[in-house]
Amino acid sequence: MSTTRYFMNQEAEAAWRKLTASAEYALCLESLKGKDRRPAMWAGTLEDWIGGAVMHGLAELEPFEKMTSKQRQEASKKMVVHCEALRELLIPFYDEKSGLDWPFQPDLDLAALNSAINYQAAHPDDFEALDEDEREDSFNRIRFAIYHGIKMDLGLVFDAIHNGALRLAELESEVKKPNDPNVRRLRFIRRVTSKFMREFGTPHRALVLALTSVFFSTEDLDEAAISKLAPVSKRA
């Protein structure tokens, strides 16, 4: 029985098709059939679980993962310093009743207008069923909500940037050497191994190796190498 699947982009769909057409996928299904899985309220099919684990492993590197730990910490410090410096410089131009005022107000108004236009272009379905008057009214409400946010509540944006910058310094990544030529393969191996551990309580090295071979060269890998690249703690 087939189900309709939705993909974020064409690359994800191509990866899914490549996976499900492979002998390694069939091997994985056969090997895991009947195995005890972690109890879950919304447990999907085994096919869905394997697909989800693989897609998680293939996901593009997040911006912070392309940085070393030292680079993240340095960027974090700079962001906090510059954020607070800019906040301090803007205080004289801010009024509790009118928000960030002249000489910034005209450009904030224009920014809100352009942002509302961008929103309308990105979410056409929100306006499709509306008549002309309703469409204009909806657009204006969005525009002035944005205007209020950037004029009156810019401090909330500074808070978010400040807190996000602090969090950046604390982030951990499966990737320790982002410039390594095999960084995406390594991340795939570690993420899929982690998924197996959480779902089945065992790393299933052979299956991780098989799934890795669908998308990456594995001539230099065996189960022992997989074990070294994605170690599992004894406690786990």
Nearest-angstrom CA–CA distance, 194 and 176: 16
Helix (H, G, I), strand (E, B) or coil at 94: strand
Report the distance separating Cα 198 and Cα 196, nearest Å. Answer: 6
pLDDT at 42: 65
Beta-carbon contacts of residue 194 (< 8 Å; ≥ 6 apart): 230
**pLDDT reported for residue 1:** 36
- pLDDT one-digit tens code per residue, 3-47: 445 556 788 889 999 999 999 999 999 999 988 888 865 667 899
pLDDT mean by block of 10 residues, the chain; 236 residues: 53 90 95 86 82 92 88 96 96 92 94 96 91 93 96 95 96 82 93 95 96 96 95 73
pTM: 0.72
Sorted by sequence, the CB contacts under 8 Å of residue 207 that are 6+ apart come out as: 27, 28, 31, 32, 196
Q: Quick check: bond before 178 cis, omega within 30?
A: no
- pLDDT for 172 equals 85
